[in-house]
Amino acid sequence: MRITITARHTEIDNDLRAHTRELVEKVAKLVRRPHHAQVIFTEEHDEAGVEIAVHVPRGRVHVAKSQAADHRSALDAAIARVKRQLLDEKETPRARRTARRSRVPGAR
């Protein structure tokens, strides 16, 4: 799975990048075949923000945003939100097609 980590209007160190990659890989294991994930770190008005988007099969995208005093706190909150979304999707049963009965010719 490809993980893209971006920093807008801020700098993040390699330790935070490695920690982010580790957490996203762990959360992505909840999905059967994840396509890719994007993590965006921002800094606005002395508040750190993190946005995580996990792209899963059938075109679905799970997005979680979080704001906190520092990037690590915001990252932890966003990871928890994405994890909750993925677990909810995994637990909800999907509608399955029922087997169709073969029709006997001439019967109504």
How high is the pLDDT of residue 102? 65
How high is the pLDDT of residue 90? 75
Each residue's pLDDT, cut to its tens digit, for the chain (108 residues) gives: 899 999 999 999 999 999 999 999 999 888 888 889 999 999 999 899 999 999 988 888 999 999 999 999 999 999 999 999 998 887 776 666 666 666 666 666
**2-91: CATH homologous superfamily?**
Ribosome hibernation promotion factor-like (3.30.160.100)
The residues near 36 (Cβ < 8 Å, ≥ 6 apart) are: 1, 2, 3, 4, 55
Closest CA to 34 of 16, 18, 56: 56
Domain boundaries, the chain: 2-91
How high is the pLDDT of residue 104? 67
How high is the pLDDT of residue 88? 87
